[in-house]
Amino acid sequence: MSRKGEFLSRVYFITIVFVLVAVALVVQAVRISVIEGDHWKSRGKELYYQLIDFEAERGKILADDGSPLAISLPFFDIHMDAAAPGLKSDIFNQQVDSLALCLSKFVYENSSKEEVRRMLVRERQRGNHYVLIRKSVDYSLLQSIKKFPIFRLGQNKGGLIIDRVDHRERPYKLLAGRTIGIQRENAQSVGLESKYHQLLRGQSGQRLMKKVGPNVYLPMDEVNEIEARKGKDIMTTLNMEIQEVAEKSLQEAIETHHAEKGCAIVMEVRTGAIKAIANLGYDNNGLLAENFNYAVGNSTEPGSTLKLASVAAMMEEQRVDLHTPIDLNGGVYYFYNRKMPDSELHGVGMSDLEYAFIKSSNVGISRLAFNSFGTPEGQKKFASYYKKFGLTEPTQIDLEGEPLPVVKHPVKDKDKWYGTTVPWMSVGYELQLTPLQVLTFYNGIANNGRVMKPYLVSSVLDNDVEIRKTAPVVLRDSILSSNTLLQLNTLLRAVVEKGTASSIRSEQYSISGKTGTAVTNYHLAGAEKKEFQASFCGFFPSEDPQYSCIVVIYNPEVGFYGGQAAAPVFRKIADRCMRPKLLASQVLNAVPKPVLASEGLPVGNYGYQRDFEQVFKHIELPYFRQDQESWVRTIADKDGVHTLPQTVVKGLIPDLTGMGLRDALFLLDQVKIRVKIHGSGKVKWQSIPPGAWTSDQREVIELILE
């Protein structure tokens, strides 16, 4: 090929390459601009504009009277777009001095006008679109800032940027703090704030924002693309007056008895509504604070307050009644070489169930329980009663963190069930319950055997309109027979009238309850000193219970008994709850109380059933016979007089306490024993205990009458 031909071929090749490249560029340009134009335009816009989520106003948490317990207050972060497109240089230069003066006077109180002016000029020269003016400005100051020179022109022309930031506030400060709780993004959330977060948070909105720097977006003309929807408000059952008394009296008890921590709960008997729940313990700074919800989340061996459950089981099984005899053995007894002690060596021998319960005798209750449920079949029945009473299930309260009760079963937990389990469970050991779980059981006793679900939220509001109402929920409709309930109420009232809680007896109203003093480190061999848990659980007024309450003081070092540390707190709370009724009755009680004929009736006595029936029929007093036994004791309540059967076994010494002399002599004649009588009235004491067998006709039984 000639040199000319070679040169032309190269020119043609290069020309073809350029043409092909040009065609490819045209095709690509057409594809990008026409076919994919909308896609790339939107992608380009995303580099500068973006929809950003913003939170809605959080709903309020309210007390039972509508007063706020937790509320979101609006605060504002103020920034300035020093290079705003609409902010003209002549406007800025003319008014920057006035703006600097206002800022130095109301915002930068420690900076002079000249210093503020230099800062504003410097940031404008830098083209800063997001100059921080001040964080957390309240609404009042915001209104003033919006009137400052330059800022009054708005966002586009004046560069004023306002970001709303809600601060969660609790008007009652620390009161019920743990129950109200807190909602946090990067830490554990607790309380009602956590449980009802989805209702309270509302629905987030979206705002169109313009990107002006790395991770810096400015709102476009203060326009929301999607409006946020405010969260719902929740109305709680908490009464802040009762709550305040509960916390103050609890604090005094913890400090007085040098305790580690404590809790108290007040529940409405008929509904299960929680009226107060207080939890106090020492924080890292040595100050008392609500650092944990002990009432709901702290599961321990409750001790003597759970004697009520074992006694209820024995009565349901018809193994015992109030006057079933039992030997307290001076205050100590052994089960399989394991020592069961009372709180002291009191020296008391033969007694009965009522005395053992109101004096909180571990020996008495555990021996009766062992006699009733000591066999393999009896152990199963014993465990089944705890399930029937609801003590094996959580209360389902609307708070997080409630643990499952730990109540052993002889079949399911056979590797942990021992020959000593029944005696120890009967006095509140070898099982674990929270204070709320114990209170729920007591509340069922106060509510005639109906166990209610505890709850804290009564209704949900949307813009002050009720959209949901919480109805009381019955967990168990009837856990005990009427006969057992009558006897249990008699025992619980007697604890306060003449037992371990007599120090809190009130002349204005009646209280029923049970003390508890549990040794919490009894299982640790070689412990330097005993650690205790003092408690009192009960309800009031006894005749028509309105409120139930439990108080637990953990590890008190001074005055560690339940009657010393916990019961006085209960009394202070009860006084506050009863104040409206006591004030209303003052006018009625302005004159001396008349002596009622009913006070002289033979109620609370022991005798022949037909005699009682004739007397009560004659005076037209309601009389309810529980069974066909000939010998009965009488118990009175608001409905009338009820009978408790008394079994008389031929050949055995009967229980004569509370009998008139005529009936007592009639029964003793059947035993064929000689009688020696001291005094007059009813039998107060008998020298030979009930249930004893006597074959010696020369033996004499002495009766003391009062």
pLDDT tens-digit readout, 192-219: 999 999 999 888 777 666 666 666 666 6
- 8 A C-beta contact, residue 625 and residue 641: no
Domains 51-236 and 240-588 share a fold: no
The Cβ of residue 528 has, within 10 Å, a number of other Cβ atoms equal to 7
CATH superfamily of 240-588: DD-peptidase/beta-lactamase superfamily (3.40.710.10)
User: Which among 1-10, 179-188, 577-586 has the top mean pLDDT?
Assistant: 179-188
pLDDT at position 9 is 75
Residue 425: both structure tokens together: 């469970």
Identify which has the larger pLDDT, 687 or 209: 687
Q: Is the pLDDT of residue 603 over 80?
A: no
Residue range 332-346, pLDDT digits in tens:
999 999 999 999 999
Q: In which band, very low, low, confident or very high, does the pLDDT at 522 lie, cut at 50, 70 and 90?
A: confident
Q: In which band, very low, low, confident or very high, does the pLDDT at 1 lie, cut at 50, 70 and 90?
A: low
pLDDT at position 548 is 98
pLDDT at position 599 is 46
Q: What is the mean pLDDT of residues 134-147?
A: 91
The Cβ of residue 24 has, within 10 Å, a number of other Cβ atoms equal to 10
Q: What is the mean pLDDT of residues 595-601?
A: 46
Q: What is the mean pLDDT of residues 698-703?
A: 80
**Partners of 660 in beta bridges:** 682
User: Which among 359-373, 524-538, 632-646 has the top mean pLDDT?
Assistant: 359-373
- Interior angle at CA 391, CA 384 and CA 542, nearest 5: 110
- Interior angle at CA 166, CA 164 and CA 171, nearest 5: 145
Q: Please enumerate in sequence order all residues whose Cβ is within 8 A of that of 701, keeping only pairs 6 or more positions apart, or say none.
A: 653, 668, 673, 674, 675, 676, 686, 687, 688
pLDDT at position 216 is 63
Q: Is the pLDDT of residue 596 over 60?
A: no
- In the chain, how many H helices and how many E strands? 22, 31
Q: Are strands 68-80 and 131-137 parallel, antiparallel or unpaired?
A: antiparallel
pLDDT at position 241 is 93
Identify which has the larger pLDDT, 164 or 288: 288
Residue range 634-682, pLDDT digits in tens:
766 556 666 666 666 666 788 787 888 888 888 888 777 888 888 888 8
CA nearest neighbour of 218 among 205, 227, 226, 209: 209
Determine whether 433 is exposed, middle or buried from the number of CB atoms within 10 Å of its CB (0-12, 13-18, 19+). buried
Identify which has the larger pLDDT, 22 or 255: 255
Percent of the chain at pLDDT > 70 equals 83
Lowest mean pLDDT among 425-434, 475-484, 669-678: 669-678
Q: SS3 for 286?
A: coil
C-alpha span between 521 and 102 (Å, rounded):
67
Q: Phi and psi dihedrals of 644, rounded to 5?
A: -115, 125
Residue range 67-83, pLDDT digits in tens:
999 998 888 999 999 98
- 8 A C-beta contact, residue 637 and residue 626: no
To which H or E segment does residue 613 belong?
Answer: helix 609-618
CA nearest neighbour of 448 among 476, 419, 409, 422: 476
CATH classification number, 51-236, choose in 3.90.1310.10, 3.40.50.150, 3.40.1190.20, 3.40.50.10950: 3.90.1310.10
CA nearest neighbour of 304 among 134, 54, 491: 491
Q: Is the pLDDT of residue 472 over 50?
A: yes
Asked if residue 376 has a cis previous peptide bond (ω within 30° of 0), the answer is no
> pTM for this structure?
0.75
pLDDT at position 592 is 56
- 8 A C-beta contact, residue 560 and residue 534: yes
Percent of the chain at pLDDT > 90 equals 58
Lowest mean pLDDT among 194-198, 355-359, 380-384: 194-198
pLDDT at position 32 is 67
Domain ranges of the chain: 51-236, 240-588, 605-705
To which H or E segment does residue 584 belong?
Answer: helix 567-585
- Average per-residue pLDDT in the chain? 86
Max distance between CA atoms of the chain, in angstroms, equals 160
The distance from CA 312 to its chain's CA centroid, rounded to whole angstroms, is: 25
Sign (positive/negative) of CA torsion 217, 222, 227, 228?
A: positive
- 8 A C-beta contact, residue 673 and residue 696: no
Q: In which band, very low, low, confident or very high, does the pLDDT at 597 lie, cut at 50, 70 and 90?
A: very low
Residue range 85-106, pLDDT digits in tens:
889 999 999 999 999 999 999 9
Q: SS3 for 344?
A: coil
